[in-house]
Amino acid sequence: MPDIAPSLRQTPPKLVAVDLDGTVVDYHDQQATTPSKAVIDAIRAVRDAGVPVAVVTGRAMWGAVRTARELGLDDGFASSNHGADEFDLASGEITHEAAVATRPAVEAFLAAEPDVQFAVARGLDGWWHTANFKRDLHAKWGGVLEIDEIYDRPAVRIVARVDSDNRYGSADRCPHALRLAERAALDPAAYHVEVGYNGWVDIGPPGVSKATGIARIAEYYGVSSADTVVFGDAHNDLTMFAWAGHSVAMGQAAPEVRAAADEVAPSVWEDGVAKVLARWF
């Protein structure tokens, strides 16, 4: 681990927010691993000091809640689906949802690529998906839907997916998915689009991001952005980095993600979150 520069934040934060995959868990090719003991102990030390810890992730709600529990979080909030929804870990209730109309987005992607696969996130149910959607990752599956059934109700998150040779967890976003998103050309006033690593394009509500997710949680606690520290490793963390008073990128993150952070931690494989938190707690 490199020496900690004296210019780095030394004052303990009043709120800590952590991304999940690539930040507190080693994702590799699927979301199947659990946090290390070092990270769990570090999170416990933060909470023992009276500082709340929030989860802010691109994962669907069911996956966010599962790993939050594994981190030892029995209260507080988990913001999931890139800020589109939120779960109260103490009450076990969904406390926020922002949804979008599914038909215009799905039709635009089908016009761009007839073989595109779709899934929608529905609370703790898991992924509801079209029959051609590749279930090649560890996930909770709600069931199969026809396209017309996807049109039936708004969704907090729509996934459009194409075949990809880009590995999940790669530092670079999938070029096939980038081209698909460009061809679909959704109106940014109506949808927020995030391009992932292995053929995924996430579609959610406009103006919603990890930044809005953590800002809402900070407001619950009466904590300012200046007193919030956030950890992340991917492009969808950049809005959160810009909002927070101190942002920490994981060592294995892409160069542009590391460049946007106030501090670069050791990699997820080196328990970077735990090593940075040890400076304060």
Average pLDDT of the residues of the chain? 91
| 218 within 8 A of 230, measured Cβ to Cβ | no
pLDDT in tens, 111-126: 999 999 999 999 999 9
What is the pLDDT at residue 53? 98
One-letter amino acid of 38: A
Q: What pLDDT score was predicted for residue 168?
A: 57
Q: Report CA Rg, the chain.
A: 18
How confident is the model over 136-143, as a mean pLDDT? 87
Average pLDDT over residues 244-251: 97
User: Regarding predicted confidence, which is higher, 129 or 1?
Assistant: 129
Q: Kindly indicate whether the domain formed by 15-97+208-277 is annotated with CATH number 3.40.630.30.
A: no
Average pLDDT over residues 29-52: 87
CATH architecture classification, 103-204: 2-Layer Sandwich (3.30)
Q: Where in the chain is the domain with CATH 3.40.50.1000?
A: 15-97+208-277
pLDDT bracket for residue 198 (50, 70, 90): confident
* Ranges for all domains in the chain classified under CATH 3.30.1240.10: 103-204
22: left (phi over 0), alpha (psi -120 to 50) or beta: left
The pTM (predicted TM-score) of the whole model is: 0.87
